[in-house]
Structure 1
Amino acid sequence: MTSITPLSIPEILLITPRRHGDARGWFSETWSRRTLAEAGVEHDFVQDNQAFNAKAGTVRGLHFQQSPHPQAKLVRVLRGEIFDVAVDVRAGSPTYGKWAGARLTAAGGEQLLVPRGFAHGYVTLTDDCELFYKVDGLYAPQTEGSLIWNDPEVGIEWPWDGEVILSDKDKVAPRLKDMPVPAF
């Protein structure tokens, strides 16, 4: 049976599908509309994405898309390990500016459901890390937004002490207090 656990922000879910194994290896149903709908989770995923990160300490994010093209994401690791984070950037939300995160590993098969209205990012904890994620909205670059990964007011407790590898875009993302509040 799939395990579904709300994190400190209840809309963010840690989903761990059951693995069925034997001497050959294992099988896991990683997405089932029926199973998640029975748990009250309904998304019409329209696009699958895959990302490869060569070095541990790579930070991607924190990214979001706002109206009219917001996206929810279901993230899992195919190889390696990450610390995956979502930050609430919904105007008027009681958890605005708060974050929740979890370690996702290829070995454990954990997944993070990041709802619409949340900035998403991760740090790789291993070299040669590969991710797969589903989104429920098509990519629309004109609606993209970002939040700096290390905003002290958000206070994400990243489990990485070394130098980080960032894209040029992520290096100059605004702090929450300097960012226009996005519309979802």
Structure 2
Amino acid sequence: RGKGRDEASSFCRHRLSLPKPFCPGPLRKFRSLSELTPLQYAVAGPDLWNFLLSAPNIYSWVGIGFSTNGQMIGSSAMVGWVSKNGTGIIKQYYLKGMDPTHVQPNQGDLNVVENSTMAFMHSKRIYLAFQLSTVQPQTELLYAVGPIGQRPNASDGYRLAKHRDQISTVLDYDKGNDNLEYSSSC
């Protein structure tokens, strides 16, 4: 067994209490990206994928987008945050355009497994956990974090403030490696 597999298993068993679907066995680790720490993922069954993303808590939102071409426009994303009262919220967004008004909550092309999403805090980090039903997720991934201290809320329709940092990557799910592409545009 490789060190990465041991670390991922330990991560699930000892540091976090995740429901069973997220820790049936080792999760593969994806190396750190900017503020974001490893994306962890695993095949959980036929056409079923588990994802766990974390980042330092900056009292904002964190998201991962799944793209067909590495661009923001036309992608679907899972975005989460922890509200001021401690409630974790995770929503799917459709990234129709670059303007925040074109980033639409509760829409998108991802087949998210019902009741499989959660956002929570642990040791000054925010975690997003979710399951997708797909043969294989898109390999071109987008990561973004919102402005410090700005969380979406119901009164503004869960509109996201423009991200303050983002990265696009290409992930080989079989190998667990990636090619980083730092960009200032989506």
Give the alignment's TM-score, normalised by structure 2.
0.31
Which TM-score applies when normalising by structure 1?
A: 0.31
Q: Max radius of gyration: which structure?
A: 1
